[in-house]
Amino acid sequence: MGEIAIATEKLTRTFGALTAVDAIDLKVQAGHFFGFLGPNGAGKSTTIKMLTGLLAPTSGRVELLGLDFQKHPVEVKCQIGVVPEGMGLFERLTGVEYLRFVGRMYGLDRATTEKRAEELLGFMQLADREKTLIADYSHGMQKKLALAAAVIHGPRILFLDEPFEGVDALAAGALKALLGRMTERGVTIFLTSHVLEIVERRCSHVAIIHQGRLVAQGSLEELRAGVAGSEGETKTLEQIFLSIVGQSGAEQARLEELTWLT
């Protein structure tokens, strides 16, 4: 078994009476492209926020690359890159100014920051928007910039919260190409997405969270093996997902109750 990049122990977060994340034990090996799935409100974003230091856990531990996040927040943050929910951009900076700012915040020297900002903007096809404020970028351009900012310091783990949400095929192509390059370099990618096709195509390992609890974790093959199906049939991730969260066929049953719609 290789190095563990992300490990949580009984990670819990409550909001008043609601337990959004309930004692999850997550393990992600270094270099894996890891998909974190769950229905709406299952606790995906809450978990990713706790894993990246944007939200304090109510109880439990987060360990990234063997370092306890609570005890070594600065050291851990140096090793990770994040595209958070809402992207976290300073909208009154231009793209290049934002990358320079982020590079310096991560402790890169001036020359490295300049070089990387230039290369990243070129790669993301944002280079000819030198004077445009981020506020005036389209949604896809903002996503590309947020990803560029998340990788400018060469993180060993990359957390992406819905990176393909609201992104057209062209912008998605650039994002996928960059992620592909990073996995080749051994970077661990932890991604949440509602688009199961993308997760199925990209991720080697998956975890599913439902009502705050981790209900499945493993490689796609392991998950397929755990779901009963007819012999010789290869289950899609969507089928696995619906089967695991107990929703398979539920829509049809519920739809039949809505007699007034037919």
- List contacts with other proteins (CB under 8 A): 52-56, 73-78, 82, 84, 86-93, 96-97, 100-107, 110, 113-115, 117-118, 121-122, 125-130, 132-133, 135-139, 141, 149, 260
Helix (H), strand (E), coil (C) string for the chain: CCCEEEEEEEEEEEECCEEEEEEECCEEECCCEEEEECCCCCCHHHHHHHHCCCCCCCEEEEEECCEECCCCHHHHHHHEEEECCCCCCCCCCEHHHHHHHHHHHCCCCHHHHHHHHHHHHHHCCCCCCCCCEHHHCCHHHHHHHHHHHHHCCCCCEEEEECCCCCCCHHHHHHHHHHHHHHHHCCCEEEEECCCHHHHHHHCCEEEEEECCEEEEEEEHHHHHHHCCCCCCCCCCHHHHHHHHCCCCCHHHHHHHHCHHHC
- Nearer CB in complex with other proteins: 90/197: 90
Least CB distance from residue 33 to other proteins, whole Å? 21
What is the nearest approach in angstroms of other proteins to the Cβ of residue 184?
Answer: 24
Question: Looking at beta carbons only, is 141 or 182 nearer to other proteins?
Answer: 141
Using the minimum distance from each CB to other proteins, give the nearer residue, 80 or 245: 80
In whole angstroms, give the CA distance from residue 91 to residue 85. 15
136/251 with CB nearer other proteins: 136
In whole angstroms, the minimum distance from the beta carbon of 196 to other proteins comes to 27
- Least distance CB 160 / other proteins (angstroms): 13
In 3D, which of 78, 77, 47 has the Cα closest to residue 161?
47
C-beta closer to other proteins: residue 23 or 101: 101
Residue closer to other proteins (CB basis): 71 or 110: 110
Q: How far is the CB of 55 from other proteins (least distance, A)?
A: 6
Whether the Cβ atoms of residue 135 and residue 107 lie closer than 8 Å to each other: no
Minimum distance, C-beta of residue 183 to other proteins, in the bound complex (Å) = 21
Half-sphere exposure of 193 (CA within 13 A, CB side): 26
CB of 93 to other proteins, least distance (A): 6
For other proteins, the closer of residues 89 and 240 by Cβ is: 89
Contact 28, 183 (CB under 8 A): no
